[in-house]
Every structure is written in structure tokens, then in C-alpha cells.
Structure 1
Amino acid sequence: MSRASKLTLMGTSLFAAATVAFVHFQQESERNAMHQGVVRDMEQQRIKKERQLDFDMQRALEAEYKKEQTVHDAIAAADAAAKAEGKDS
């Protein structure tokens, strides 16, 4: 074999090996990125569930307190009083 053909074979072999290595590492990187997306989604679902439980607990407490106490809307009462004063004038 001539020197030029040996260099060409070596060059193409190195290029092929480098391409295979690059593709392997790129696939590994993409797989890790997709896995991180799944982990992030699971964490968001967990947080959403916790917030929903807190909301439900607050709603139950509100219902319990409304049974025990008389609650009226202060803003609606102020609006009604303002309208009544406006009609009286």
C-alpha cells in the first residue's frame, strides 16, 4: 500500500470513529435532557397536588367558620350604604 492510501484509510477511520463517538454522546445528552423533563413534570404535578389539597382544606375551614359565624360582605354593604345616601340627598 502506498503512503497516500494509508493516510487516507487512517483519516477516514478516525473520522468515522469520531462521528460514532459524537453521535453516542449527543444521544446520551438528549436522553438525559428528556429524563430531566420527566422529573420536572413530576415535581410540578406534586406541587399542584399539594396546592390543591391546601385549597380544599382552606375551603373546608371557610365552610366550617361560616357555619359558626355570621359573615357579610363589607364591600357590598358599603356600596349599598353609599347608594342609600345618594338617594337620600
Structure 2
Amino acid sequence: MSRASKLTLLGTSLFATTTVVLVHFQQEWEKKAMHQGVVRDMEQQRIKKERQLDFDMQRVLEAEYKKEQSVHDAIAAADAAAKAEDKVS
């Protein structure tokens, strides 16, 4: 085998080996990135669920407080008072 053919064989072998190794590492990096996306999505879903539970609890508390306390619209009361004063004047 000539020297040129040996160098060609060595070069192509190194190129092929390097390509296989690089593709392997690239797949590992992509797999890790995809897993991080799943972890991030699960965390966002957990936060969303917590916020929804807090919102529901606040709605229940608001309903209980409205049962216990008489709540009226301050703006409507001020308008009614202003109209009453206008009629008296």
C-alpha cells in the first residue's frame, strides 16, 4: 500500500470517528435540553395550579365575608347623598 493511500485511509478514518463522537455528544446535549424543557413545563404547571388554588380560596373567603358583612358601593352611596343634597337645596 502506498504512502498516499495510507494517509487517505487514516484521514477518512479519523474524520468518520470524529463525526460519530460529535454526533453522540450532540444527541446527549439535545436530550438534556429537552429534559430541561419538560422540567420547566412541570414547574410552570405547578405554579399555575398553586395560583388557581389561591384564587379559589380567595373567592370562597370573599363569599364568606360578604355573607357576614353588609357591603355597599361607596360611589353609589356618595352619588345618592349628593342627589339628596341637591333636592334639599
Alignment correspondent of 1:58? 58
TM-score by length of 1: 0.86
| Partner Cα distance (2:76, 2:7) in 1 | 89
TM-score by length of 2: 0.86
Contiguous gaps of at least 5 residues in structure 2: none
Distance 1:83 1:11, change over 3 A: farther
Larger mean Cα displacement after TM superposition, 68-77 or 34-43: 68-77
Matched residue type, 2:83: A
Alignment correspondent of 2:21? 21
State how many pairs are aligned. Answer: 87
Deviation at 1:74, TM superposition (A): 2.1
| Partner Cα distance (1:19, 1:59) in 2 | 60
Contiguous gaps of at least 5 residues in structure 1: none
Question: RMSD across aligned C-alpha pairs, in angstroms?
Answer: 2.0
Distance 1:17 1:56, change over 3 A: same
Alignment correspondent of 1:30? 30
Matched residue type, 1:49: K
Identity rate of aligned residues, in percent? 82
Distance 1:67 1:16, change over 3 A: same
